[in-house]
Structure 1
Amino acid sequence: MSLEYNGVKSYGKNDFGIGNELEKAESIILNFDKNFHYTDINAILELNNIVLLYDTGIRLTVWKDSDYLKRKKTINLMIPVIGKFFSNIKEDNFLDYISKVSMIYIDDFWSLFVRFKVYERIDSSVFMSYLRMPGVCLYNILQYKKLVDYYDYSVAIALRESDEAARILVLTYLKKTSVRYYLPNSLKPTEFEKIFQNYIDSNQANPNVLELIAYAQSTGLCPISDKLRLNAIRRNSEMCEENKHDSVCSEFGICIGFKDQDELVKYDKNKTDLQIFYDVKWFEKFLDYPTIMNNFINVFEMVDRYCRCNLVSLKYKITPIDSIFTVNGINFYNKGTWFDSMTMTSNMQIQMYYQFLIAKNINIEDVFKWFFEHYLSEEFSVQGFFYNPSSPTTTYIEKCRNISSEMEGILKQFRMYVRDGEINRELFEMSSEHIIIKTVPSLIENKYAYASDGSFSDELFLLFSDQTLLSSIDRINTTYSTLYELLSNEEVFYSDFKSNQKVSIDWLIKQGDLEVNDNEIIKLVKPKIYILDDLYKHEVISIYKLNDYKRVIDPLIESGKLYVKDTLFTKPEIDYLNYELNKREFSNGLDLRNKYSHATYPRDVKKQQEDYTELIKIMIFIIIKINDEFCTKSNVI
């Protein structure tokens, strides 16, 4: 395979370098001769990339319509030239041609190889010879189903012989990826266990791949036994132990505690550590149950001002570095460093406050009982809720079992109240079904709004992502991460943007997100921008708390750009709770509810204590959400 060929390359219409590639293609287009006899396969593949560039419909701003149409006419003449060249690839010259394809064009070669059905002229024995050549990348071939199906037996043999087989299986069945791979029917799922085990035992084993195997869901397409998972976990632990002296780690330390201080909350942060101290006098003074619950909202900030959980994983918080170093399986809950640090912080807050209350002879679960059996009745005249707290002196195993059970019971009670307007104890006792978190309804109509598939993706990316080229202009030296930040802090003129940037700016103006005033100054269109910013950061809008924005939100709902759901929890909260409590949605879930109800809990008491802390945190969050429902409904009525 040729490693160098500095040719035109199309990476799709969203590629920021598309203007440079169009300029690079100019001389080839203007000098193109349909009768020229091409012998270099890379020159043909370059013509194909020029065709793909023009298929995007993007033009250089210096072109007039006549210029574009002239070039487009030439582009149309290239297609039969490409087809004619590939029609001459046969069994006797196939290996020679494929060996000369530049690395940047290998995907293009196989795409055209399949498009023009060249494989029908190449015997499987010749193709097998290619598959056994040094440096052959099976990943490219496996992207084409017709190719895999045609050479099914040969590709299966190549996979069995390849050191990359386990990684390919992981990419096909276990890991989230934008590329789809196809496997030959001759390679049976019954063979996968051996392939995976050989990989686990090999020197090529990678911790990220081992983690994907360890926490994957077993399916008919890719069965993974518990024994294989255990072997992957053990091998991963061994590798960490072996390499710990060869690693350089950067740790972020968090310290949380009580102090006698003037501020209620005091933060002290340096490069490696974060210290959070709370005024002990405040907590000692206010030991009443209402304030204890409010502390989780107002002091520990478990939810934001729109009652959305601050502990969930959010896409915009996952950095490019997280994407590189975080293992993200097909059924994994997608996490990053921000989520991990928030989890650590919240767990330390809960544990610290729990121990503080115990020292004051207050059991946090007694507070839960008060909320359901007294507060709801006294404040909202809501009868029938009940909660059975565990004793502070019982084991953590029993505490975890009890709170998991009571949590399920509370959600069932709330669901019954929403549906029937009351809690019928006899009817409740007849129900044995498990609660499905996403189906727990809301008392509030028109509660949450979400973006319909693809409706705002381009707008949100261009306005709020730090991965665009719109946040930098030559006249302003200050560095901003996003276009939104730039326009929020600076007076920016339309003429400040370069021609390739203006394509996106013009599109945002057309969408009603930006406007140009009489002085040619670019402005953010409010309040729509506020709604889009909220949607980008939180993936959901609490429309029941945004009455002042109805004139913006309602048309977006009517047009289908937003859709409404009336559930107790938001979609990010539902995902978070499923990650914490079960493995219904996420194979890397903590499975807190199931492992205690099925007696598969850890024997380590410290780990049991950590699990109980997580469960307390979830129960507190559920109470906050239910309280918000009744408060909102009461105000409406």
Structure 2
Amino acid sequence: MKTTRFLAGLPLLFCHGSSQRSLGERVRRSEQPRTSKQDAYRTIARSRVAPSRKSQPTPSHTVSIEFVKKIMFSLYFDFVDSTGLLRIPAHKHEQSTLLSAIGLHAIGEYPASIQFQQRNQIAVGVIHLYRLFLENTGQNRLEPAIEWAFNDYAKSEFGIDGFTISLPTKEASYLDKCKAIGPEIERITKAFLLLSSKGEIDEDYFTCISIKSFADVKSLVRHKYVEAGPQFEEHASLLFSDQSCLAFSENHKNAKQQFCAMIVEETAKREDFPNIYQPAIDKLLEDGTLEINEEGVLRPTKKAAILKLVWEKGAIEICKYHDQDKALAKDLVDLGWLVYSDSLFTSDESAYLNYMFNNTEFCNSLALRNKYDHGTFRVNDPNAEEYASDYDNLLSLLISIMLKIFDDLSLRYRAGGVEDFVDWPLVDEPVVSVANQMFQSDFDLDRS
């Protein structure tokens, strides 16, 4: 088993970097030159997909199962960001207050923001195009690679029996594929639930358990995430809300309407804000989320960077950070600003999965599993576009869950890594967190 690159298994193949970095290291890496994704795609395509030399009217391609195993977990499916979180889910603060208030909203609905819809459409579009590419070659499909990950890789790399999955065949109609894939998604989720609760996957227990919400699935890793605590909004909204009294300054009209972004983009001093708002600045200084340097310029602290990540992404996978960052996060947990989570999925991730898969949490759920389990569909054309789209959505859910499972297994068993899947030079992408983008100037997140 590989321990030299602690990369959290399959999901962090999207990240192409160390799983344990300080916040400052993540910022500095983002400033380094990098190869574009497009160049990487072209290089991979040239080296892995060889056109047939035979004389044919239409060129054919040869794609091996090894190619599918490796490439499907690399650059094509950008489902997991460099911090280990799913990219697709909606987040509470990603829309402006005005956009969030516009339109009709029902109590208990999923916050399907414009940003969320764009991310989900891109993810499903990538699945659709890549699936068609593989199928049109006449060689392989996505499904065998997913089956290999659970049926073979989980046992050989982690020594775990019981992760078995059987996905629809190519000959099945899209309607039949949608009917078949839902129970398989539920099966692997149950298997992981048994592993995390009992230490093994005993198939005799499958009939005794049911999963009403993805939030019920626990992680193998203690204190895996930190999320917003009961005092989070009180301390973070002054920094990051567009409704904060500090979000606008007459001296910095062109800056983003957010206090923390303003003091990073501009050289802002406390005298740039009216006297009536000085108590708010004093509160941030007292909280330790704001400091004044020798020139009198306002600067956010590392504590503010942690709050920013939670504000934007809903959680931090804190178990992958350095001890210094973990200690700071623990201080914020003790203050009630953050809370630990021991679940496989963050709150935003489980909400997204519930919205797409079942009716347990939201009144506007797509509930794709329920749709095909309970027969709430019309049988006109079994290969209708509606069913093809639903199948792509269900495949994206399965891959998202799979990535999170293998991330957890790698953290728990200290095994798995990029070396198992790719044998070409990795493309080193920067950390794509909003906090790091904000603080990639001369500000050093490593300082205390």
Q: Which residue pairs with 2:388 in the alignment?
A: 609
State how far apart, in whole Å, the 2-side matches of 1:278 and 1:316 are.
38
**2:327 equivalent in structure 1:** 551
1:44-443 pair list within 5 angstroms: 264-265=37-38, 280-281=45-46, 284=49, 288-295=67-74, 298-360=75-137, 361-428=139-206, 430-431=207-208, 433-443=210-220
Structure 1 contact 580–589 (Cα < 8 Å) conserved: yes
SS of the residue corresponding to residue 387 of structure 1 reads coil
Q: CA deviation at 1:347?
A: 1.3
In the TM superposition, residue 635 of structure 1 has moved relative to its aligned partner by 2.3
What are the superposed Cα offsets for residues 531-574 of structure 1, whole Å, 9 maximum, x if unpaired? 01101101212111123402211112223332212111110011
Task: Tell me by how many angstroms 1:435 deviates.
Answer: 4.8
Q: Name the SS for the 2:73 alignment partner.
A: helix
Label 1:406 to 1:549 Cα distance change in 2 as closer, same or farther (>3 A). same
Counterpart position of 2:373: 597
Match of 2:312 in 1: 537
Deviations 1:507-549 (A, max 9, x none): 1112111123444332222x21110110110121211112340
Matching residue of 1:483: 259
Distance 1:560 1:472, change over 3 A: closer
Following superposition, the deviation at residue 584 of structure 1 comes to 1.1
Structure 1 residue 503, shift from structure 2 partner: 2.4
CA contact (8 A) 2:213 2:350 kept: no
Shift of 1:479: 2.5
In structure 1, give the amino acid aligned to 2:71: I
- Structure 2 residues not aligned, in runs of 5+: 1-34, 51-62, 417-448
C-alpha contact 1:446 1:544 (8 A) present in aligned 2: yes
User: Following TM superposition, by how much is the alpha carbon of 1:501 offset from its aligned partner in structure 2, in angstroms?
Assistant: 2.5
AA aligned opposite 2:409: F
Give 1:411 deviation, angstroms. Answer: 0.6
Q: How far apart are residue 264 of structure 1 and its match?
A: 3.7
**Within-5 A mapping of 1:558-597:** 558-597=334-373
- Cα distance in 2 between the residues matched to 1:495 and 1:434: 55
Matches of 1:292 and 1:635, distance apart in 2? 23
CA contact (8 A) 2:252 2:262 kept: no
Quote how far apart the aligned CAs of 1:370 are. 0.3
String of CA shifts for 1:261-281, please: whole Å, max 9, x gaps. Answer: x95438xxxxxxxxx999854
TM-score, normalisation: structure 2: 0.75
Q: 1:621 to 1:466 in 2, by over 3 A?
A: same
Cα distance in structure 1, aligned partners of 2:396 and 2:183: 15
Which structure shows the higher helix fraction?
1
Structure 1 length-normalised TM = 0.53
Alpha-carbon distance, 1:400 to partner: 0.9
CA distance in structure 2 between the partners assigned to 1:380 and 1:480 by the alignment = 47
1:512 pairs with 2:285: no
Deviations 1:61-111 (A, max 9, x none): xxxxxxxxxxxxxxxxxxxxxxxxxxxxxxxxxxxxxxxxxxxxxxxxxxx
Contact 1:264 1:278 (C-alpha < 8 Å) held by counterparts: no
Give the match's secondary structure for 2:181. helix
Give the AA of the match of 2:175.
I
Letter in 2 for 1:497: F
Q: Distance in 2 between matches of 1:494 and 1:592?
A: 52
The reply to whether residue 622 of structure 1 matches residue 395 of structure 2 is no
CA change 1:499–1:616 in 2 (3 A) is same
Cα distance in structure 2, aligned partners of 1:283 and 1:488: 44
Per the alignment, in what secondary structure is the counterpart of residue 317 of structure 1? Answer: coil
Give the corresponding residue for 1:457. Answer: 233
| Aligned with residue 502 of structure 1, among 263, 274, 278 | 278
Q: CA separation in 2, counterparts of 1:409 and 1:315?
A: 30
Once residues 320 and 433 of structure 1 are traced to their aligned partners in structure 2, the CA distance between those partners, rounded to angstroms, is 38
| 8 Å Cα contact 1:415/1:441 also seen in 2 | yes
The number of residues matched between the two structures is: 362
Distance 2:109 2:193 in 1: 28
Amino acid at match of 2:193: R
The aligned amino acid for 1:627 is F
Higher relative contact order, structure no. (Cα contacts within 8 Å, ≥ 6 residues apart): 2
Which AA in structure 1 matches 2:114?
Answer: T
Counterpart amino acid of residue 551 in structure 1: A
Distance 1:584 1:390 in 2: 26
Provide the rounded CA distance (Å) in 1 between the counterparts of 2:157 and 2:46: 28
How many Å apart are 1:593 and its aligned residue?
Answer: 0.4
How many Å apart are 1:405 and its aligned residue?
0.5
Matches of 1:322 and 1:473 in 2, distance apart?
22
CA contact (8 A) 1:314 1:537 kept: yes
TM-superposed CA distance for 1:475, in Å, is 4.0
Please provide the CA RMSD for this pair: 2.5
SS in 1 for 2:72: helix
C-alpha displacement of 1:458: 2.9
The one-letter code sitting in structure 2 at the alignment partner of 1:514 is L
Q: Deviations over 1:433-455 (max 9, x none)?
A: 345311111111111112222x1
What SS is found at the alignment partner of 2:227?
strand
What is the deviation of 1:311?
0.6
Contact persistence 2:217–2:344 (CA under 8 A): yes
